[in-house]
Amino acid sequence: MNFFDVISVKEARERLMENFKAYQFETEEIPLLEATNRVLAEDVYSNIDVPEFNRSTVDGYAIKSKDSYGANESIPSLFNILGEVNMGEVPEYEVKTGEAVYVPTGGMIPEGADGMVMIEYTEKLDDQTLMVYRPISVNENMVLRGEDIGKGDLALRKGKRISPETMGVLAALGIGKVKVYRKPKFYIISTGDEIIDLDEELKLGKIRDINSYTLHSLITRLGGQVVGRAIVKDDYELLRGEVEKAVKISDIVLLSGGSSVGSRDYTHKVIDSFRGRGVFVHGISIKPGKPTIIGEGEGRLIVGLPGHPVSSIIVFKAIVEDYVNKKMGVVDFIPKTKAIMDFNFPSSPGNETYQMVKLQEKDGKLYATPSFGKSGMITLLSNSDGYIIIKPHEEGVYKGEEREVYLL
Amino acid sequence: MNFFDVISVKEARERLMENFKAYQFETEEIPLLEATNRVLAEDVYSNIDVPEFNRSTVDGYAIKSKDSYGANESIPSLFNILGEVNMGEVPEYEVKTGEAVYVPTGGMIPEGADGMVMIEYTEKLDDQTLMVYRPISVNENMVLRGEDIGKGDLALRKGKRISPETMGVLAALGIGKVKVYRKPKFYIISTGDEIIDLDEELKLGKIRDINSYTLHSLITRLGGQVVGRAIVKDDYELLRGEVEKAVKISDIVLLSGGSSVGSRDYTHKVIDSFRGRGVFVHGISIKPGKPTIIGEGEGRLIVGLPGHPVSSIIVFKAIVEDYVNKKMGVVDFIPKTKAIMDFNFPSSPGNETYQMVKLQEKDGKLYATPSFGKSGMITLLSNSDGYIIIKPHEEGVYKGEEREVYLL
């Protein structure tokens, strides 16, 4: 670690973007109903006017608004009722002076009418005659053709993650297939002589592969897909062979583990052994997560994550998530909340510190307590709700201070 | 609507829970790697000690701690180096007084040793002899067997939504298959003579089915699945036939649309026509969303949602999400943030008001502006980031006030 040319989180992000400036995530066209949480890969313009007709926003009568001028409780305006418009049908009527047509909410307003009077302000004298007790203004209680979204308007921007609301807009525009980014492909390689997978028998001294599970889950939540997963012993040739497979089929290769000095060395060598830029980030001033290395081989991004579960989660969030979202132009609102710190915590000078915390509500206020635990403990994971970020220039966290907590 | 026996959101939730007290969502066992975002259907106890051996948290030497007492820079304690422990292997050594064994981070500490001295505080005099410059206390720099999670300990509670961190805990415990709730089954029926699906030609007067798309997406995000979807004309027999199909294969039937008085009437009649309790909520004092009806038919939950897209989203979130999460015992942290209101907004007396807002950051502060628009407008969906909730007893929202914004 002494040999590391450690750089800030900000600089690491910039260097990564710079080195993969030309890299493009693939796109695909998928049915709208499958598009929840996917990211739009192109701007969406409307091919139609929304609504496509002058639409009523109330149950009532379509009239010429000027015919209602002066109407009041004592002297209603009188109208001749032509009939009614059914939902989903084009009205057969044209409204002329002194005429009214019943239109339900959402119905199409007939030609000639320029406003809707709500049924509450009317009364039928007989089947043919309507009394209107209030004047309406021009275009009252109606949405004009194209007023919501006009034909040719930009409706949604590239980079938008498709939420239920976005889905609704796309459906309204009649877009049944949507161009989104293909799920970025990840290949996860766990390294270490002591690591075994879940289906292997746990012999004393060995430990279960944890990181490839947490990473798999992080990738799923980010909207990526895992195209390969392997556990590799601490051996240069074995690791190189696996990475060679990985770069052929993935966008991003994650190497997890290798926190010992020896394994870090050959992870570095493996990345440099491929055609390309090699390792370009040799350590990040992030705590935990310092021994992270980032490089390029065969045009693919290769990230060497630290071995501890918490560290690898932090680095994934700080570096990999940031990269993927930037490449797709995603502007997600990162789930976070403000909470009162109920502890003093020193900063780690020169580092960006990520401290796991547990949230608790007391008397309607939200408090954050640090999740302490010895290095590598699993309960650090199960007992945390989120983390705070202490910037390199900050002195630390003071009890009573209100800070953002980023939610896990 | 005048005939509605309108009740509060709180009361509607309670009545719903009360009527479906005995209803159980199904469970299933799935591979761990597929379990992201699913909900644990049972408490998880550990079958093993984590760690399964006394584990070092540093690179250094395992010793008997009392042998280091009194050691300092001028007078180091001397040790006989027995050898080293490799990762993933059971040490062949037993440490006796005056002896030391090298153990890497994560390695297994040999019998006899009760602490680790970091390599930074040692120096090798020769291959066999170690100088230690600092005393360590008992159990320093190590995690004891079972200290993280003990055999038989409750590791995770039923109702936990599986996050990357939860996944890590399950992997550490060697749990490859996990019992979760089956994705709740929803059947979406859109009603209205004017509604057409995306693959139909848009004739003038018709409008695209929007709600079943937004609902599909809300269901996906909630962790449910859509087992059926239909668009039905405003007709009692047609609607009854579709609901009859729906109750056979789903947990929850959502009827969307039918905001006209007539269609509300027969939606009500359809629900009452099945064996069971029938409609038990006839309207909710929620704005928007008042004409919501909730009932039971053939043992299934049937919810009649209002027709406007925003209203149906609000009611889904306020009522359906709440119900599903409560039935599974989920205690998700609802994504929300505090923002400064940059508008005055009156309350709607007696109603719980959900007002859509747009968020904007100015000078590091987050401001919320209401998303106004005419009833049923689509841009209300695309221009909103979240909503605020104004409780029935509140007078309204004041400009400059800080409030929670629930994120979409």
Q: What is the CATH number of the domain that holds B173?
A: 3.90.105.10
Q: What is the pLDDT of residues A322-364, one digit of tens each?
A: 999 999 999 877 778 889 999 998 888 889 999 999 999 898 8
Instruction: Note whether B168 contacts A408, CB cutoff 8 Å.
Output: no
Which chain B residues are within 8 Å of A167, Cβ to Cβ? 213-214, 216-217
CATH number of residue A397's parent domain: 2.40.340.10
Closest to A337 (Cβ–Cβ): which among B175, B336, B373?
B336
* Residue B170 and residue B80 share a domain: no
Span of A45-49, A120-124, A308-312, B372-376 with lowest mean pLDDT:
B372-376
CA B261, CA B282: separation in Å to the nearest integer?
Answer: 13
pLDDT at B74: 94
Cβ neighbours of A202 in B, within 8 Å: 48, 52, 174
Pairing of strands A278-281, A129-132: unpaired
Nearest-5° Cα angle at B117, B114 to B120 = 170
Does any domain span residue B149? no
Average pLDDT over residues A62-87: 95
| A11 CB-near residues (< 8 Å, 6+ apart) | none
The structural domain count of chain A equals: 4
For residue B361, how many other CB atoms are within 10 A of its CB? 9
Same domain assignment for residues A227 and A364: no
pLDDT at A364: 83
pLDDT at res. A2:
42
Answer yes or no: do B74 and B128 share one domain: yes
- Beta carbons of A335 and B338 less than 8 Å apart: no
The beta-carbon neighbor of A143 closest among B106, B216, B374 is B374
Residue A2 lies in a domain: no
Q: Give dist(CA B283, CA B291) in Å, integer.
A: 5
pLDDT of residue B262: 67
DSSP B299-342: TEEEEEE-SSHHHHHHHIIIIIIHHHHHHHT------EEEEEE-
What pLDDT, on the 0 to 100 scale, is given for residue B1?
40
Task: Using the predicted structure, report yes or no on whether residue A8 has a pLDDT greater than 70.
Answer: yes
Give the separation between CA A127 and CA B397, rounded to whole angstroms: 45
What pLDDT does residue A261 have?
A: 62
Has residue A4 been placed in a domain? no
Residue A358 lies in a domain: yes
Yes or no, beta carbons of B53 and A107 under 8 Å apart: no
Partner residue facing A382 (CB), from B165, B375, B382:
B165
pLDDT of residue A260: 58
B212 and B308 housed in the same domain: yes
Nearest CA in chain A to B194: A88
**Distance spanning both ends of chain B, measured CA to CA:** 29
Contact residues, chain A, for B337 at CB < 8 Å: 333, 336-338
**Phi, then psi, of A66 in degrees rounded to 5:** -65, -20
Q: How far, in Å, CA of B61 to CA of B83, rounded?
A: 10
Nearest Cα to B20, choosing from B314, B220, B284, B276?
Answer: B276
Nearest CA-CA distance, residue A328 and chain B, Å: 19
CA distance A245 to chain B (A): 21
Domain finish residue from A328, A353, A381: A328
Residue A1 lies in a domain: no
Q: Is A104 exposed, middle or buried (0-12, 13-18, 19+ CB in 10 A)?
A: buried
**C-alpha–C-alpha distance, residues B2 and B6, integer Å:** 9
Residues of B in contact with A52 (CB under 8 A): 202, 204, 207
* Average pLDDT over every residue of B95-115: 95
Q: pLDDT tens digits, residue range B350-372? A: 899 999 999 998 988 899 999 88
Residue with tokens 């935990």: A288
Mean pLDDT of chain B: 93
Task: Write b or e for each residue in B15-31: b if 16 or more Cβ atoms lie within 10 A of its Cβ, otherwise e.
Answer: ebeebbeeeebeeeeee
How far apart are the C-alpha atoms of B334 and B168, rounded to whole Å?
22
Assigned domain for B4 exists: no
pLDDT at B244 over 90: yes
Q: How far is A378 from chain B (nearest CA, A)?
A: 6
Mutate to test the interface with B, among A53, A87, A118, A153 (most CBs of B within 10 A): A87
**Number of helices (H), then strands (E), in chain A:** 8, 28
CA distance A276 to chain B (A): 32
**In one letter, which amino acid is A344?**
N
Q: Residue B292 falls within a domain, yes or no? A: yes
Gap from A279 CA to chain B (nearest CA, Å)? 25
- Average of pLDDT values for A76-82? 97
Q: Look over chain A and give the mean of its residue pLDDT values, rounded to a whole number.
A: 93
One domain for residues A377 and A298: no
pLDDT for residue A265 is more than 80: no
Structure letter (DSSP) for residue A110? P
- Provide the domain limits for residue A354: 336-407
Question: B375 pLDDT exceeds 80?
Answer: no
CB distance A378–B148 less than 8 Å? yes
Task: Say how many CB pairs under 8 Å bridge A and B.
Answer: 271
Q: Chain A closest CA to B358's CA: distance in Å?
A: 12
Q: In angstroms, rounded to a whole number, what is the distance separating the alpha carbons of residues A308 and A70? A: 78
CB contact under 8 A, B220 and A156: no
Where residue A96 sits, what CATH number does that domain have?
2.170.190.11
Bond preceding residue A31 cis, omega within 30 of 0: no
**Which residue among A143, A173, A200 closes a domain?**
A143
Same domain, A109 and A206: no
In 3-state terms chain B splits into helix, strand, coil percentages (rounded to 5) of: 25, 35, 45
Q: What is the pLDDT of residue B340?
A: 95
Q: How many residues in chain A? A: 408
Identify whether the C-beta of residue B273 lies closer than 8 Å to the C-beta of residue B223: no
The answer on A164 and A97 residing in a single domain is no
Residue B194, min C-alpha distance to chain A (Å): 4
Do the beta carbons of residue A163 and residue B408 sit within 8 Å? yes
Q: Are residues A215 and A254 in the same domain?
A: yes
In this structure, are strands B278-281 and B293-297 parallel, antiparallel, or unpaired? antiparallel
CATH number at residue A266: 3.40.980.10
Q: What is each CA distance from B275 to A79, B26, B281, B295, in whole angstroms?
A: 48, 22, 17, 11
Residue B2 has a pLDDT of 42
Q: Which of A374, A384, A405 is best to mutate for the B interface (most B CBs within 10 A)? A: A374
Selecting from B172, B207, B376 the residue whose C-beta is nearest the C-beta of A378 gives B172
Collapsed DSSP state (helix, strand, coil) of residue B214: helix
Band of residue A136 on the pLDDT scale cut at 50, 70, 90: very high
Please indicate, yes or no, whether residues A198 and A214 belong to a single structural domain of this protein. Answer: yes
Query: Is the same domain home to A167 and A301?
Result: no
Burial class (CB in 10 A: 0-12, 13-18, 19+), B293: buried
- Domain end (from B305, B328, B351): B328
Contact A45/A154 with Cβ under 8 angstroms? yes
Taking CB atoms and an 8 Å limit, are A220 and B89 in contact across chains? no
- Candidates B218, B221, B382, B408: best to mutate against A (most CBs of A within 10 A) is B382
Burial class (CB in 10 A: 0-12, 13-18, 19+), B73: exposed
**B368: nearest Cα among B355, B377, B349:** B355
Q: Which residue from A minimizes the CA distance to B167? A: A214
Residue A102 resides in a domain: yes
Map residue A14 onto helix, strand or coil.
Answer: helix
- Residue type for A342, please? D
Q: Determine the distance in angstroms separating the CA of B52 from the nearest CA of chain A, rounded to an integer.
A: 7
Same domain, B248 and B323: yes
Least confident interval from A367-381, B85-99, B294-308: A367-381
**Yes or no, beta carbons of A36 and B165 under 8 Å apart:** no
Residue carrying the six token digits 């962790």 = B223
Residue A280 above 60 pLDDT? yes
Q: Kindly report, residue by residue over B171-217, the tens digit of the pLDDT.
A: 999 999 999 999 999 999 999 888 999 888 888 888 889 999 999 99
pLDDT at B261: 62
| B377 contacts in chain A (CB < 8 Å) | 143, 147-148
C-alpha dihedral sign at A338, A340, A345, A346: positive
The ipTM estimated for the assembled molecules is 0.93
Give the Cα separation of B111 and B130 in Å (integer): 19
Taking the CA of residue A277 and the nearest CA in chain B, the distance in Å comes to: 31
Give percent helix, percent strand, percent coil of chain A, each to the nearest 5.
25, 35, 45
The amino acid present at B125, given as its one-letter code, is L
Decide: B193 and A87 in contact? Cβ < 8 Å.
Answer: yes
The answer to whether B168 contacts A88, with C-beta atoms less than 8 Å apart, is no
**Could B216 and A309 be called an inter-chain contact, meaning their C-beta atoms sit closer than 8 Å?**
no
Residue of A nearest to B317 (CA): A164
Kindly state whether residues B312 and B235 are assigned to the same domain. Answer: yes
